[in-house]
Structure 1
Amino acid sequence: MVTGLINANPIVYAKKERRIRSTPSAADVDEYAVEPIDQLEVFDHIRDIKDPEHPHSLEELQVITEDAIEVDDKQSHVRVMFTPTVEHCSMATVIGLCLRVKLMRSLPSRYKVDVKVAPGTHATEAAVNKQLNDKERVAAALENPNLVEMVEQCLAPTFE
């Protein structure tokens, strides 16, 4: 998608096999109950996001892993830590924005979502984290048509 790659030859890992979650029967569910969200469900929502520079998913590049997701369902809080493929990744903010947008669209609105670069994995970690977790900055980024187009390309489903 982007020319002048920062990491022209990233390591590509095998995808994890998708696990089937059991769902309770209608008789076991209170019609007013809110079904809890877990780490696996959050991972399933974001695992297939495409990297902005490569034809691989964030899972295949191990930019995101299931272990880097924390869910506190009682507090309605989700935290996703991602690891750019290189320390000077120019797409780190775009990747974080893709994660945030996907989760905003996928999770119930009661959840507060934090998206952060894993500690020590990016040269401008603090600046990227500040930008990704500031509502006004995210809203401003989503008003930029070029950036929105890039995010939509990363979020577009693949039919493998």
Structure 2
Amino acid sequence: MVSNLINANPVVYEKKDRRTRSAVNDVDEYVGEPIDQQEIFDHLRDIKDPEHPYSLEELKVITEDAIEVDDNQSYVRVTFTPTVEHCSLAAVIGLCLRVKLMRCLPSRFKVDIRVAPGTHATEAAVNKQLNDKERVAAALESPNLLNMVDECLAPSYAS
């Protein structure tokens, strides 16, 4: 029912064209390619919003510019912007971002997920939840929450 939605009429933006990644090293298939901002964005752009049938890219919850990567230091920071200041699903969105990166990045990476400064009423609390390993592990023990995350991460063929 639309009246129960936190943001019943979100602004939907056009998706960016997908860019083809060029092969850095065609000579030695065993040399790892560096992970960069575009690769992280490509992993995250199609995650579905937990409340709407749109991707996080289409809602501008994530943008390529809000991703920092330091491959040499094995560090990724993703800063996301909830569609409304009182979004009760901000922690779920952040959890989706974290789980997606846990599943697709090498384990050497430290991942930092943040709400953009000034964009959420409980920004500090959400940031603390998203970057506390014990809280994340406990959240992923909940079958209902894990199902919600998996639904958001499921591939969509309606691109």
Q: In structure 1, what is the equivalent of residue 22 of structure 2?
A: 22
Distance 1:103 1:22, change over 3 A: same
Structure 2 unaligned spans of 5+: none
- Paired residues of 1:50 and 1:154 also in contact (CA < 8 A): yes
TM-score, reference length from structure 2: 0.95
- Paired residues of 1:2 and 1:53 also in contact (CA < 8 A): no
Equivalent of 1:38, from 36, 39, 42?
A: 36
Give the 4+ runs in structure 1 shifted more than 6 A: none
The Cα shift of 1:2 comes to: 9.1
Q: In structure 1, what is the equivalent of residue 133 of structure 2?
A: 135
1:2-56 deviation line (CA, Å, top 9, x unaligned): 97111000000000000001013532x373x332100000000000000000000
Q: In structure 1, what is the equivalent of residue 146 of structure 2?
A: 148
Which residue type is aligned with residue 79 of structure 1? R
Q: In structure 2, what is the equivalent of residue 11 of structure 1?
A: 11
Secondary structure, aligned partner of 1:55: coil
TM-score, reference length from structure 1: 0.95
Taking every aligned residue pair, what percent have the same amino acid on both sides? 76
CA distance in 1, matches of 2:97, 2:141: 17
Secondary structure, aligned partner of 2:8: coil
CA distance in 2, matches of 1:8, 1:70: 31
Alignment of 1:82-93 (within 5 A): 82-93=80-91
Aligned-pair RMSD on alpha carbons? Answer: 1.5
CA distance in 2, matches of 1:34, 1:141: 32
CA distance in 2, matches of 1:120, 1:2: 27
Structure 1 unaligned spans of 5+: none
CA distance in 2, matches of 1:56, 1:24: 32
